Amino acid sequence: MENYQRTDIRNIAIIAHVDHGKTSLVDVMLKQSRIFRENQHVGELIMDRNTLEREKGITILAKNTAITYRGVKINIIDTPGHADFSGEVERVLNMADGCLLVIDSIDGPMPQTRFVLKEAMQKKLKPIVVINKIDRENSRPEVVLGLVQDLFLELATTEEQLDFPVVYTSAREGYAVNTPGTKNTDLVPLFECILSKIPPPSIAQGEFQMLISNLDYDTHKGRIAIGRIQRGKICSRDRIVNIDSQNKAHSFEVGQVFTFMGLGKQEVECAEAGEIVAITGLENASIGDTVTSPLQPEALPRIEIGEPTVRMTFGVNTSPFGGRDGKFCTSRQLRERLYRELETNIGLRVEETDSPDSFLISGRGELHLSILVETMRREGYEFEISKPEAITKTIDGKIYEPVEALTIDVREDFVGEVTELLGKRQARMTDMHNDGEGNVRLEYNIPTRGLIGFRNSFLTATRGTGVLNSQFLEFQPWCGEIEQSRTGALVAAEAGLSCTYGLSNSQERGIIMIDANIPVYEGMIVGLHARGLDLAVNVCKQKKMTNIRSSTSDIAIKLVPPLKLSLEQSMDFIADDELVEITPKGIRLRKKILNTDLRLRARKRTDNN
């Protein structure tokens, strides 16, 4: 039987590199489609409803929304722009027939632009190139269009893919035009382009079939499976079959059926092929499973996700302060939470270790793992994590490691210092471009382990003005050793409360990381030593009272403001023999071996070997 098209629906994914204005464009599309009341205040970054997304200014989770234009429903899938969350992009593109590829009119194509376009072309999606931010003073849409054409020539697999429409937009001003240099007041040219260029869904004849591309959860409705119906229709209270990863079939009764509109879901009695729906009643469904009619139980190809490149251990907090702050501190609670994350975070891997109290977690990058850590911390979990490390493989007796394409934008004054930093990390330059106005773009291939801890050094070297982006390239033979750039740590020699006098003496040896009157324990890292080796210091030492001095004379001592590290900075900072202690109330750095004498003996044994 021949397929037919459903002309009243368009399914599109919005894909882009991070910070190219993708979520802002979705905001304007929602507002101009008039799905909100005139007096309804919705604010900015409407789709980034997650607290962490708003704080960091990036999209972490793929989300569904929909608008109506000229009687046609446009289902929109907002995807993350950061390379670490590319697993989210890979799985949700299955629901789309076309995509809006959003590109900054100044930056042009970036590493993630290449990745998302390649994924879209492999899935035969029809792309519309949206060159955004044309309202900015130094925008260069014509130059960027030339770079985009080069990218399409490199990645296209058919001639049709080279024939792509282009729309120029300003998400901030809320308009779209077909020719750069002109002005408009709305996004009508973009909406018209979507209707005319994005193909309607092609529907196969047969009984109900759908691939689960996403999962949601509701405290009342339970697990909610989200996907696009490939054929047939689904109604509430239908009997359906869920085919899992082992090709086993489980029978369920559908609870409720929802479609998307605006920022929410609306319940419908039935939904037909081509529509993106959310279904309740599937208790044990997983992403990649096929739900289908028992009359024609055929499984769709499962979603393939790229393998992780970075790993670290999560363990029960073993510090002297363990269990003070967290609601969930045991290995059982930690294990349950990590395995529950696997249900929706399919780019993640969890492995058991020799110890029942620790787990090996693998992800797509440092940010991917740090978002999980921060989410769990805010949920009340308390645990400790090790330094992230690159995952290697052995192929034909040789060690291979992940290599990333790194793009750096800096002022030409800092090129020498940045080049020197990267040279020590086994990076190989592949391209260099100076725009003639003092801005330089450097492109490198660098081992993933060379990027771990690099961001802090880079921001320091460029006085906070540099921008770096990376994208996984491939596994390549081991590049050689990378020299350690960090100096030693200042480590607390005894437990107690830090005091001004003790900190004053310690800050002469390096940079202090804690304030006065903070509880510390032996083995806790309290600062950065000015020299290469670790140094035990007593930050709890107080000035003794005498007949000519009193303890209140500490008030006159002035301390340098401490260096406070964020979670990502702490993960970059620690060495192999150190851990980050994560609690709902804060973050501490510590040595794996807390006792000073035992730590010295262990170091001597390592040096002798």
Secondary structure of 194-221 in HEC code, one letter for each residue: HHHHCCCCEEECCCCEEEEEEEEEECCC
Query: Is 529 part of any known ligand binding site?
Result: no
Q: Is 470 annotated as a binding residue?
A: no
Residue 51: the pLDDT is 63
Has 368 been labeled as part of a binding site?
no
213 is in an annotated binding site: no
Distance CA 125, CA 93 (A): 8
Given 3-state DSSP classes, what are the helix, strand and coil percentages for the chain, each rounded to the nearest 5? 25, 35, 40
pLDDT at position 524 is 94
Kindly indicate whether the domain formed by 204-292 is annotated with CATH number 2.40.30.10: yes
Backbone angles phi, psi at 605, to 5 degrees: -65, -40
How far, in Å, CA of 391 to CA of 401, rounded? 7
Sign of the alpha-carbon torsion through 558, 560, 566, 569: negative
Residues of the chain with CATH 3.40.50.300: 4-199
What CATH number should be reported for the domain whose range is 393-477? 3.30.70.240
Q: For residue 24, say whether it is annotated as part of any ligand binding site.
A: yes
Percent of the chain residues past pLDDT 70, beyond the cut:
91
> Directed axis angle between helix 454-461 and helix 415-423, to 10°?
160
pTM > 0.85: yes or no: no
Beta strand 489-492 with 519-520 is: unpaired
What does the CA dihedral 16, 21, 22, 27 come to, rounded to 10 degrees?
Answer: 180
Task: Determine contact, residues 380/583, Cβ cutoff 8 Å.
Answer: no
CA angle 35, 180, 101 (to 5 degrees): 55
Give me 219's structure tokens.
């405290």
Q: Which CATH number fits domain 4-199: 2.30.30.760, 3.40.50.300, 3.30.300.20, 3.10.20.310?
A: 3.40.50.300
Q: Across-strand partners of 101? A: 15, 129
Does 134 belong to an annotated binding site?
yes
Cα–Cα dist 512/280, whole Å = 53
Q: Is 27 annotated as a binding residue?
A: no
CB neighbour list of residue 153: distance below 8 Å, 6 or more residues apart: 162
Q: What is the model's pLDDT at position 286?
A: 83
Are the beta carbons of 145 and 139 closer than 8 angstroms?
Answer: no
Please give the angle made by the CA atoms of 343, 120 and 339, to the nearest 5 degrees. Answer: 10
Does residue 19 have a known ligand-binding role? Answer: yes
**Cα separation of 282 and 241, whole Å?**
9
- Counting as low any pLDDT under 70, the low residues of the chain are 1-2, 34-62, 81-87, 484-485, 544-556, 609
Listing DSSP states for 519-540 in one string gives EE-TTBEEEEESSSS-EEE-TT
Give the amino acid at 110: M
Q: Is 593 annotated as a binding residue?
A: no
CA distance 154 to 142: 19
pLDDT of the residue at 313: 94
Supply the pLDDT for residue 45: 46
Per-residue pLDDT tens digits for 121-179: 888 889 999 999 898 888 889 999 999 999 888 888 778 888 889 999 998 888 899 98
What is the pLDDT, as a whole number, of residue 166? 93
Reported as a single tens digit per residue, the pLDDT across 505-531 is: 888 888 999 998 899 999 999 998 988
Residue written as token pair 């006085």: 463
pLDDT, residue 37, reads: 45
What's the pLDDT at 305?
Answer: 72
Alpha-carbon span 407 to 89, nearest angstrom: 21
Residue of 412, 480, 476 whose CA lies nearest to 440: 412
- What are the structure tokens assigned to 87, written together? 């697993």
Q: Is 21 annotated as a binding residue?
A: yes
**Model pLDDT, residue 555:** 53
Question: How many angstroms separate the CA atoms of 490 and 511, rounded?
Answer: 8
CATH 3.30.70.240 in the chain is located at 393-477
- Distance CA(260)–CA(224), nearest Å, equals 13
